[in-house]
Amino acid sequence: MSKITTTMIEMALSHVDDPDLGQSLTQLGMIENISVNGLKVSFDLVLTTPACPMKSKMKEDCINAIHEYVDRNAEVTVNLTSRKVEEPDPADMFPNIKHTILVASGKGGVGKSTVAVNLAVSLAKTGAKVGLIDADIYGPSIPIMFNVNHQDIFGENHDGKTYMVPVEKYGIKLMSVGFLVDPEKALVWRGPMASGALKQLLTETWWDEIDYLVVDMPPGTGDIQLTIAQTLPVTGAIIVSTPQRVALADVVRGVEMFQNPNIGIPVLGFVENMAYFTPAELPDNRYYIFGREGCSKLAKEMDITLLGQIPLVQSIAESGDSGKPVALWSEQPTPESEAFMEVAQNTIKEICKLEKK
């Protein structure tokens, strides 16, 4: 075997992807300080947070890649580090926000943003002051769902510092990375860059008085999710899923992330989206095309509240595309608007339970 070089190690590690971002660790700038001494290889794997739930897998994948692409006899040492610095207490940073609710999902495509938007609208309908953050860095959808795509963001001075002022629509204060970038261009950011941009979005927005701040989380359980969880004073998390077994497996991962001792965020409950299909011409009929009550069964098994079941109906999809969330329709309540109001009311109940503990 030829002499091991730093370049050989870099090439091997280019085959290792971040499990959530789907890009190689070398592309994301997460490999540093490579050292080679004969068969002894060492390097730093730089995490955004030391609490990253996927760090063991990434470490193992790095070792396997070097054994496969460089030398099976290499003695590999992976030093797990992070750029985490001491942060002020989140509660001190956001004194005017009473409750922060994370709306999360283990995977994409389950309607998480739809639930977040309509939860915010339903909470506002109770008379509460509501804010909504679109924290999905790579796929911001809140501007479309509120029809505020090309909204300008203005600054406002408070205590000698300039803050971004949220956009207001339907009585809800909105902030999204989609307001700050060209919607026609894809965002290509390294993991640490994305986490830094998101932290700036969270900490440099002036919310004033807010009863409920709803956060539309990115899908998955990686560093970006942990950045949000550790930056905001979080009251609890809601996990959205569809009834299929493959989606429920990711729900379990989401629960484990929030219940991790380093995170410690209560799970307020599950929302089962696309629970059943109801044709507009047959409003009393239910067809369980994705399986029946998978999320409700999992909720019982894990002793977690099922906050509500949202039907799969055309009006919900159309309302998101038109910028008028279905929960707004109040002249005559519909099954869809009532389903989201049930989720909002049950969420408030779960928060009240936490406050009594």
CATH code, 25: 3.30.300.130
The answer to whether 84 and 227 have CB atoms below 8 angstroms apart is no
**Among 22-36, 117-131, 163-177, 196-210, whose mean pLDDT is lowest?**
196-210
Our measurement of the distance from residue 118's CA atom to the centroid of its chain's CA atoms, rounded to an integer in Å, reads 16
pLDDT at 269: 95
Q: Are residues 21 and 127 in the same domain?
A: no
Q: Are residues 16 and 136 in the same domain?
A: no
Distance CA 246, CA 136 (A): 22
Residue span of the structural domain in which 37 resides: 6-82
Q: Are residues 140 and 261 in the same domain?
A: yes
Residue 51 lies in a domain: yes
Residue 45 lies in a domain: yes
Q: Are residues 115 and 57 in the same domain?
A: no
Count: domains in the chain: 2
HSE, CB side, 13 Å, CA atoms: give it for residue 174: 29
Residue 50 lies in a domain: yes
The dihedral sign for the CA sequence 45, 62, 29, 44: positive
Smallest CA-to-CA distance from 96 within 193, 230, 233 is with 233
pLDDT at 8: 92
Q: Are residues 310 and 245 in the same domain?
A: yes
Residue 32 lies in a domain: yes
Helix count and strand count (H, E) for the chain: 11, 13
**Among 92-96, 143-147, 180-184, 271-275, whose mean pLDDT is lowest?**
180-184
Q: Encoding tokens for residue 123?
A: 């909470």
Q: Which CATH number characterizes residue 149's domain?
A: 3.40.50.300
**Among 122-136, 214-228, 272-286, whose mean pLDDT is lowest?**
214-228
Query: Phi and psi of 40, rounded to 5°?
Result: -90, 120
Residue 220 lies in a domain: yes
Q: Are residues 74 and 144 in the same domain?
A: no
The answer to whether 298 and 140 have CB atoms below 8 angstroms apart is no
Residue 1 lies in a domain: no
Label residues 312-351 b or e (16+ Cβ within 10 Å = b).
Answer: bbeebeebbeeebbbbbeeeeebebbebbbbbbebbbebb
Q: Are residues 69 and 214 in the same domain?
A: no
pLDDT at 183: 55
Of 65, 82, 99, the one marking the end of a domain is 82
The answer to whether 311 and 243 have CB atoms below 8 angstroms apart is no
Q: Are residues 274 and 132 in the same domain?
A: yes
**Among 162-166, 210-214, 227-231, whose mean pLDDT is lowest?**
227-231
The answer to whether 275 and 140 have CB atoms below 8 angstroms apart is no
Q: Are residues 73 and 150 in the same domain?
A: no
Q: Are residues 182 and 101 in the same domain?
A: yes
pLDDT at 85: 45
Of 59, 82, 105, the one marking the end of a domain is 82
DSSP structure string for 56-122: HHHHHHHHHHHHHHT-TT-EEEEEEEE-------HHHH-TTEEEEEEEE-SSSSS-HHHHHHHHHHH
